[in-house]
Structure 1
């Protein structure tokens, strides 16, 4: 397994990875809802690569993308110390330490770039992800009630943070 910064050559594989991860039902997009073109995905990756307050790392297993973690920051003086995290792993690669490795590399990058607060949300019922986040040092900050509608039912999200 190799953790590395995403590259433009990964655009097609990354787009396919995202669509597969969306099928889990635990991401923001419904399965099949994401309608992003290859060009749009490439522009997004270019934007991340050009932004020193954001990063996207991918996990590569036998030349296949198994997962990713992205930290999205900004340059506003009052919030430039924080970044919002999105992470996704293909189901067959969960429980193998890949998520932990992605976080560890992200923490190194964050410290090197003056990011002192990391934030993320997780669907309340996603126990596996919630447990990983807690294991990685994230603290439950609160619960956003009825923040999502999944299969017609109101669903809550947890907000978590980590101070570096």
Structure 2
């Protein structure tokens, strides 16, 4: 499923079904049909077409935005850690939000902290509408989310070639290559969508993140002085970018 452009529908009912699922993240078919006050036979017909076209999918009785099933999971072995990197699913939401908040507990990654708050309040991971598209890939150890990479694409013509990226790994899992593999997956996805440039902004106090990105050929494009106020202190924002 390509996210560079939101899907368009010639049929209003199919558009309404998609919009409902996109807003809610996942829902039972009966819930969607009742909310839209749609006749059962017509609803079944439209759902069949949306599934056929890989726009929506149904798993465990829940309808959600269709996820890319190609190369969905990659397994890696590093030292004593075995981890998997894959596209995040709606059911990862709670673990992902918890991982982001734990990873940025020192409050040196404001954008990631904001993303966690937004996703938690909305209850939706994947966004793909007329205003924005967002996608997550996660690193998991067993059933636990231990890292993530997030890309957000504003649906504006003037910014159609760019995407914003955030990334993080729980402290106890750093230093074994998880962050590098997540970053690689995020860049690969962005390139496959036709993006030309990705951005990441962090407070200047987050030296570890800046060094990590610079080691992966990111460059500082600008510094906004005193952009953040953290614990009463004014902190510069470092804006990094990478062409892909």
Task: Decide: shared fold, TM above 0.5.
Answer: yes
Q: TM-score range by the shorter chain?
A: 0.7 to 0.9
What residue number does 1:11 align with? 93
Relative distance call for 1:48 and 1:21 in structure 2 (3 A) is farther
The structural deviation recorded for 1:27 is: 2.1
Tell me by how many angstroms 1:36 deviates.
6.4
Larger radius of gyration: 2
**Structure 2, gaps ≥5 residues long:** 1-82
Contact 1:11 1:41 in 2 (8 A): no
Shift of 1:52: 8.9
Identify the range of structure 1 (130-139 vs 9-18) with the bigger mean alpha-carbon deviation.
9-18
Note the alpha carbon deviations across 1:98-135, whole angstroms, 9 max, x for none: 11101101111111101110001122122211111011
Native 8 Å contact 2:201 2:239 kept in 1: yes
Counterpart pick for 1:129 among 196, 203, 209: 209
| Equivalent residues in 2 for 1:1-164, closer than 5 Å | 1-28=83-110, 40-43=121-124, 45-47=125-127, 53-164=133-244
Asked which structure has the greater RCO (Cα within 8 Å, sep 6+), the reply is: 1
Give ranges in structure 1 of 5+ residues lacking alignment: none
Q: Could you tell me whether the CA contact under 8 Å between 1:3 and 1:58 is conserved in 2?
A: yes
SS of residue paired to 1:122: strand
RMSD: 2.5
What is the TM-score when the length of structure 2 is the normalising length?
0.59
